């Protein structure tokens, strides 16, 4: 399987080739130093998508070799690209000052990955998403059967996992859930692409309404080497918003699954806020869906139930790295 190398790419909207797209669903990935979980992510998702476009950049670990091996195993469903330009890290002054159409911009890099997809529906997939297979299958089946509105961004979320001081899986209280309307399945149009924001790459919904379709993955970011913050180059960017996010995570106490259900249960004021904001409605739907999705007493039980085989492919052993404050889940 040949890996295409790309240098000096500049995105244009016509690169999305909307009229030439085939029926089906493409996932696209932007990967830097994803060796911890990229294989688990791909193996847990590959059966549901017509293709996975995996683009790696500035990797100093085994990511390129892992992707090459998976591309060989799952060809032609997995297509791998090496984007060689230096991409400025999100949260840095360099990112804020780099134009979105520069090869060094995360915006341009993201649009390249999207432009390499070939199907009418697309979804962004990160290298630390462990699939909940039945949930992903349900949404993909509904998309293919035409049961989901083409004028909607079908948003989904994942539960953030960390380890407590006993080495057991837990949920960080400061950031228990990932995905607040920023990721989802969308029908590709010339306007559904990434735009520059001084803080990050912003996905332009092009007027699409947002609808919550469920919890589709376990988010393994905080279980990665360096707690998932290595790629932000925080030593060189101490004022980055992600440096503050890392500090909040390290000072957060960790919750059990029952504690997370209780903490996220929306109160009357939160429900009232949904009358004035579509985003608030989405967040309430997300919070309300946690309890019926994961009624289990322990996170490991929930993983065994909804992601069978996770112990084999994700290897989330008892390793513990982060200096978390003690919380109820540490007992």
Q: How confident is the model at residue 330 (pLDDT cuts 50, 70, 90)?
A: low
Over 90: is that where the pLDDT of 191 sits?
A: yes
233-268 b/e (C-beta count within 10 Å ≥ 16 → b): bbeebeebebbebbeebbebbbbbbbbbbeebebee
Per-chain mean pLDDT for the chain: 93
Residues 266-290: what's their mean pLDDT?
79
Residue that is written with structure tokens 């029952």 in the block: 258
For residues 221 and 228, the answer to whether their CB atoms sit within 8 Å is yes
Extract the tokens encoding 112: 């390249």
SS (H, E, C) 127-191: CCEEECHHHHHHHHHHHHCCCCCCCEEEEEEEEECEECCCCCEEEECCCCEECCCCCEEEECCCC
Taking alpha carbons only, the member of 217, 225, 226 closest to residue 310 is 217
Residues 237-253: what's their mean pLDDT?
95
pTM score above 0.85: yes
The 10s digit of each residue's pLDDT in 53-89 is 999 999 999 999 999 999 999 999 999 999 999 999 9
Query: Which of 202-211, 308-317, 318-327 is modeled with the greatest confidence?
Result: 202-211
Q: What per-residue confidence (pLDDT) applies to 272?
A: 67
Tabulate helix, strand, coil % of the chain (nearest 5). Answer: 35, 20, 40
Strands 201-203 and 194-196: antiparallel
Q: How confident is the model at residue 321 (pLDDT cuts 50, 70, 90)?
A: low
Over 70: is that where the pLDDT of 18 sits?
A: yes
Q: How confident is the model at residue 320 (pLDDT cuts 50, 70, 90)?
A: low
Q: How far apart are CA 315 and CA 324, in angstroms?
A: 21
Over 60: is that where the pLDDT of 331 sits?
A: no
Residue that is written with structure tokens 């890996």 in the block: 3
Q: How far apart are CA 66 and CA 184, in angstroms?
A: 26
Look at residue 303 and give its three-state secondary structure. helix
Q: How confident is the model at residue 165 (pLDDT cuts 50, 70, 90)?
A: confident
Q: What Cα–Cα distance (Å) separates residue 288 from each residue in 46, 178, 282, 284, 298? A: 29, 15, 10, 6, 19
Q: What Cα–Cα distance (Å) separates residue 12 from each residue in 34, 100, 103, 107, 190? A: 27, 11, 12, 12, 9
Which helix (DSSP H) or strand (DSSP E) does residue 245 occupy? helix 241-250
Tell me which DSSP letter residue 40 carries.
H
Q: How confident is the model at residue 172 (pLDDT cuts 50, 70, 90)?
A: very high
Of 54-63, 160-169, 212-221, 284-293, give the lowest mean pLDDT range. 160-169
Extract the tokens encoding 46: 């590959």
Extract the tokens encoding 164: 């407590």
Q: How far apart are CA 194 and CA 112, in angstroms?
A: 10
Q: Give one word for 318, left, alpha or beta, with left for phi > 0 and alpha for psi -120 to 50.
A: alpha
For residues 234 and 307, the answer to whether their CB atoms sit within 8 Å is no
The 10s digit of each residue's pLDDT in 96-148 is 999 999 999 999 999 999 999 999 999 999 999 999 999 999 999 999 999 99
Fold of 4-162+180-222+237-247: Spore Coat Polysaccharide Biosynthesis Protein SpsA; Chain A (3.90.550)
Taking alpha carbons only, the member of 110, 85, 316, 320 closest to residue 201 is 110
């Amino acid at each position: 399987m040949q890996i295409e190398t790309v240098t000096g790419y500049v995105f244009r909207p016509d690169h999305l080739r909307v009229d030439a797209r085939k029926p089906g669903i493409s996932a696209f990935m932007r990967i830097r130093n994803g060796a911890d979980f990229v294989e688990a992510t791909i193996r847990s998702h590959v059966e549901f998508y017509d293709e996975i476009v995996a683009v790696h950049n500035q990797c100093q670990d085994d990511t390129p070799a892992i992707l090459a091996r998976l591309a060989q195993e799952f060809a032609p469903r997995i297509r791998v690209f090496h984007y060689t330009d230096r991409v400025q890290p999100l949260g840095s002054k360099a990112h804020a000052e780099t134009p979105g159409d520069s090869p060094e911009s995360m915006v341009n890099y993201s649009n390249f990955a999207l432009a390499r997809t070939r199907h009418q529906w697309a979804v962004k997939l990160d290298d630390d998403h462990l699939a909940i297979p039945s949930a992903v299958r349900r949404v993909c089946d509904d998309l293919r059967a035409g049961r989901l509105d083409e004028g909607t961004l079908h948003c989904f979320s994942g539960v953030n996992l960390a380890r407590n001081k006993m080495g057991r899986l837990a949920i960080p209280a400061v950031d228990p859930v990932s995905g607040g309307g920023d990721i989802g399945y969308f029908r590709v149009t010339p306007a559904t692409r990434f735009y520059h924001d001084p803080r990050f790459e912003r996905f332009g919904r092009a007027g699409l309404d947002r609808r919550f379709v469920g919890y589709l993955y376990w988010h393994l970011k905080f279980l990665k080497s360096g707690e998932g913050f290595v790629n932000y180059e925080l030593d060189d960017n101490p004022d980055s918003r992600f440096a503050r996010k890392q500090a909040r995570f390290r000072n957060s106490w960790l919750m059990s699954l029952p504690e997370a259900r209780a903490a996220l249960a929306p109160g009357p004021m939160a429900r009232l806020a949904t009358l004035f904001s579509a985003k608030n409605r989405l967040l309430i739907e997300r919070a309300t869906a946690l309890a019926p999705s994961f009624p289990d007493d322990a996170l490991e039980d929930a993983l065994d139930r909804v992601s069978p085989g996770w112990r084999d492919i994700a290897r989330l052993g008892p390793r513990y790295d982060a200096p978390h404050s003690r919380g109820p889940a540490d007992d």
